[in-house]
């Protein structure tokens, strides 16, 4: 009886292994196909001494998103964000002026699992009234050349608290599709303090 049962199990075992493997691959593929994808951002908008808005766009199967943030070595706080048509806007309140915060952005993946789509990033809140701050103003950014990247790195080395752009962000015509190459990528070291920035590598 025992020998017959063992023989039957030996025949069934390969089938069970194949079924389990197929199911595992299927779950992995489904998770991969439904994994949230960051489309735009994240961007910090309307910063104030006590609050800020973090905005991003993502392609995700669910509308739920989260922002995890903390000041220096303090405990991490979580802000739930409900998206509308793939656009997520989260307002963080109660921050301190002149303080540095780290944040990460998440979207819901398979079975509501929290998937990080961007971060960690660093953000410094504006100084309170009466506190000193450093700023840089510039304009007529350019067409995405190496000189533009060199200037951006020089400005970033000054470690400004505020960067003011006076206009004419990109050339030749200001088309939206030109922003990533002609502005964002080249000026990121100084104009994108809300990401984990690095000096731009000059192309040859």
User: Is-contact 99 161, C-beta < 8 A?
Assistant: no
Over residues 123-152, the pLDDT tens digits come to 888 888 888 888 888 888 777 778 888 888
Is the pLDDT assigned to residue 162 strictly greater than 90?
no
Is the pLDDT assigned to residue 7 strictly greater than 70?
no
The confidence band for 106, taking pLDDT boundaries of 50, 70 and 90, is very high
Q: How large a percentage of the chain has pLDDT more than 70? A: 72
Residue 199 confidence (pLDDT): 35
Structure tokens at 133: 């701050």
Who wins on pLDDT, 203 or 78?
78
Residue 104 confidence (pLDDT): 95
Who wins on pLDDT, 150 or 69?
69
Who wins on pLDDT, 144 or 94?
94
Residue 196 confidence (pLDDT): 34
Question: CA 118 to CA 42: how far, in whole Å?
Answer: 7
- Taking residues 167-192, what's their average pLDDT? 71
Task: Kindly report whether the peptide bond that precedes residue 64 is cis, defined as omega within 30 degrees of 0.
Answer: no
When the pLDDT of each residue in the chain is averaged and rounded to a whole number, the result is 77
Instruction: Give pTM, 2 decimals.
Output: 0.64
Residue 67 confidence (pLDDT): 96
Residue 66 contacts by C-beta under 8 Å, 6 or more apart in sequence?
78, 79, 80, 81, 105, 106, 107, 114
Residue 122 confidence (pLDDT): 85
Over residues 12-37, the pLDDT tens digits come to 766 656 655 565 444 444 445 568 98
Who wins on pLDDT, 157 or 196?
157
Residue 15 confidence (pLDDT): 64
Three-class SS state of 180: helix
């Amino acid at each position: 009886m025992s020998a017959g049962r063992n023989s039957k199990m030996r025949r069934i075992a390969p089938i069970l292994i194949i079924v389990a493997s197929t199911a595992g691959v299927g779950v992995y593929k489904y998770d991969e196909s439904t994994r949230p994808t960051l489309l735009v951002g994240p961007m910090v908008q309307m910063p104030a001494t006590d609050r800020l808005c973090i905005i991003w766009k993502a392609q995700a199967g669910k509308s739920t998103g989260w922002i995890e943030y903390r000041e220096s070595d303090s405990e991490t706080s979580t802000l739930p964000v409900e998206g509308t048509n793939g656009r997520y806007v989260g307002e963080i309140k109660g921050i301190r002026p002149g303080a540095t915060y780290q944040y990460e952005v998440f979207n819901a993946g398979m079975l509501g699992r929290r998937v990080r789509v961007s971060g960690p990033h660093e953000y410094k809140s504006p100084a309170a009234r009466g506190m000193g701050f450093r700023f840089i103003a510039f304009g007529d950014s350019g067409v995405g050349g190496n000189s533009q990247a060199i200037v951006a790195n020089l400005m970033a080395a000054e470690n400004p608290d505020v960067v003011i752009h006076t206009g004419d962000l990109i050339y030749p015509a200001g088309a939206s599709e030109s922003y990533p190459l002609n502005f964002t990528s080249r000026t990121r070291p100084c104009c994108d303090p809300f990401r984990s920035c690095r000096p731009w590598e000059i192309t040859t």
